[in-house]
């Protein structure tokens, strides 16, 4: 996938998130935004997978714990959804860890509990 492809998909993701935020507003549960975003992706024919398991590997061994990615778009871009008062460093560490564990280059941390979604939308890269 080229950087141009990533940018094109990123624009579609951002536009979809803005649409969901405009329709639903802030203050709902994360799971509600996830369901709405899934529907928005379906309406726009955007390929996604929800609640994707990533195995925990330690020294090349798989341990009995999986991480769950909220949404994986086009099998390339990780979306970690939140509905919190303030994004914390632990939320950023979470998306960075998911990018490394899933060996993906691009991810977005999206907090829907903000008046304007642009204030809750953060981009993260891994060897990009």
User: What digits encode the pLDDT tens for the residues 108-122?
Assistant: 999 999 999 999 999
Strands 106-111 and 77-82: parallel
Distance CA 56, CA 66 (A): 6
DSSP 87: -
CATH number at residue 61: 3.40.1350
Which own/partner pairs from 46-54 qualify as long-range (CB within 8 Å, at least 24 positions apart)? 46/9, 46/12, 46/13, 46/16, 46/73, 46/74, 47/73, 47/74, 47/75, 48/72, 48/73, 48/74, 49/75, 52/102, 54/98, 54/101, 54/102
**Quick one: the chain helix, strand, coil %, rounded to 5?**
40, 30, 25
- Contact status, residue 100 vs residue 126, Cβ threshold 8 Å: yes
Total tally of structural domains belonging to the chain: 1
What is the tens place of the pLDDT at every residue in 16-72?
999 999 999 999 999 999 999 999 999 999 999 999 999 888 898 989 888 899 999
Q: How far apart are CA 43 and CA 51, in angstroms?
A: 19
**Which pLDDT score, from 0 to 100, does residue 94 have?**
95
Residue 103 token pair? 């060996």
Q: What is the pTM of this model?
A: 0.94
Instruction: Determine the structural domain holding residue 47 and report its residue range.
Output: 3-125
């Amino acid at each position: 996938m080229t950087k141009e492809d990533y940018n094109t998909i990123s624009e579609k993701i951002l536009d979809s998130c803005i649409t969901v935020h405009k329709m639903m507003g802030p203050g709902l549960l994360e799971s509600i935004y996830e369901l709405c975003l899934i529907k928005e992706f379906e309406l726009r024919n955007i390929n996604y997978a929800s609640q994707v398991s990533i195995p925990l590997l330690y020294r090349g061994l798989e341990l009995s714990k999986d991480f769950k990615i909220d949404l994986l778009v086009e099998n390339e871009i990780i979306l970690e959804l939140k509905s919190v008062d303030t994004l914390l460093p632990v939320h950023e560490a979470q998306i960075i860890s998911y990018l490394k564990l899933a060996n993906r280059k691009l991810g977005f941390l999206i907090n829907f509990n903000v008046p304007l979604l642009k204030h809750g939308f953060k981009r993260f890269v891994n060897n990009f």
